Structure 1
């Protein structure tokens, strides 16, 4: 859920939006996903933003069916623009809002379980209710045992000082919206545990970000 900007660059699909941060962090995130994502299965991306991650990851992980989602119509239009000439395993975006269960995919019937859920840079630019909803969604929809929840972004950690850049970022987020801000990793892990999602790995990423991996018990 990086900030989006309109672009009319010749190399980009007409109508697509672009996120410089998404382009920068795609390669290191993909490295982690390749190591831990199932070779085959269904992946749900929550808060897919511009759709660049969805396209890059679907191309790099041809064995999975990648379904992006975003509550923003502008973002979904951009995802559609990126996927226009994309691979067949990149599916149409869903209008999913993590904080609103009424928008979630059905949990009953055929093909309702997901092998992995991926979400980047949502927790700090949304109310805490969105993270709560994400955990409930993952707890209900991930195939168990072993279904993967992969989160990317900056977090506070009780045993480590906050980097100056992340501290400044946190202040700027709260100035824009008091309900935003960097979340404590421990709070996120406690929330995951309440939905039978077990924290299995913390991966240090560039620019003081983390990948947090959870598995369905």
Structure 2
């Protein structure tokens, strides 16, 4: 991939810093998947990095409309056969048809409002077949307590910017996941006080299909 072909591509330094640690976690999770939906692909950098290293996976990017042009620039530059055109996906609207072999999302739960986080889990629960996995990366609190001083400051900054945003608590996410038919099966510590939470779709259909 050459950066000079598309000099106006969006770029996030954090993606460069965390993509290798994230990949080390998700590579075995999606070893048997054929299609993975990424919710909130942002710049598109993660998609290019992961898709190049998971050639057996069709990595489906998605995001709200404003981010799609930037994602397309990264995809056009990469020219990978397993990176189709990004989907427009707002969790409050229509979702793509399923099933998919897995779902990945990074740094989205704290940007969404709580109602949108509910809808994300509900949508993922509908898309995943039994046994399939949802990997969610980002900062999370646990039992109402932040796991680091930096996460507490980050949470305060988010809420000052928009009261709907904020670092989500693992206990609250477990409740949402349970309603969507998802069980937490792994919690991986990541650099810079982040975590990758791995949820698995239960065989029993308990998600709210409304």
State if a TM-score over 0.5 links the two structures. yes
Q: 1:127 aligns with which of 113, 119, 122?
A: 113
Determine the structure 2 residue equivalent to 1:209: 194
Q: Please say if residues 80 and 93 of structure 1, whose CA atoms lie closer than 8 Å, have aligned partners that are also in contact.
A: yes
Q: How far apart, CA to CA, are the structure 2 residues paired with 1:24 and 1:161?
A: 22
Q: Please say if residues 115 and 147 of structure 1, whose CA atoms lie closer than 8 Å, have aligned partners that are also in contact.
A: yes
Determine the structure 1 residue equivalent to 2:96: 105
Q: Does 1:117 align with 2:103?
A: yes
Determine the structure 1 residue equivalent to 2:71: 79
Determine the structure 1 residue equivalent to 2:31: 38
Q: How far apart, CA to CA, are the structure 2 residues paired with 1:140 and 1:127?
A: 20
Please report how far the alpha carbon of residue 37 of structure 1 lies from its aligned counterpart in structure 2 after TM superposition: 1.3
Structure 1 segments (4+ residues) deviating >2 Å:
9-15, 159-162
Determine the structure 2 residue equivalent to 1:148: 133
Q: How far apart, CA to CA, are the structure 2 residues paired with 1:130 and 1:138?
A: 12
For structure 2, the residue ranges without an aligned partner over 5 or more in a row are 203-210
User: Where do 1:177-196 residues align within 5 Å?
Assistant: 177-196=162-181
Please report how far the alpha carbon of residue 38 of structure 1 lies from its aligned counterpart in structure 2 after TM superposition: 3.1
**Secondary structure of the structure 2 residue equivalent to 1:66:** strand
Determine the structure 2 residue equivalent to 1:175: 160
For structure 1, the residue ranges without an aligned partner over 5 or more in a row are 1-8, 107-111
TM-score, structure 1 normalization: 0.87
What is the aligned residue count? 200
Determine the structure 1 residue equivalent to 2:15: 22
Please report how far the alpha carbon of residue 48 of structure 1 lies from its aligned counterpart in structure 2 after TM superposition: 0.5
Q: Please say if residues 15 and 77 of structure 1, whose CA atoms lie closer than 8 Å, have aligned partners that are also in contact.
A: no
Query: CA separation of 1:212/1:57 partners in 2, compared to 1, >3 Å: closer, same or farther?
Result: same
Calculate the aligned-residue CA RMSD, in Å: 1.6
Please report how far the alpha carbon of residue 186 of structure 1 lies from its aligned counterpart in structure 2 after TM superposition: 1.1
**Secondary structure of the structure 1 residue equivalent to 2:32:** coil
Q: How far apart, CA to CA, are the structure 1 residues paired with 2:3 and 2:31?
A: 35
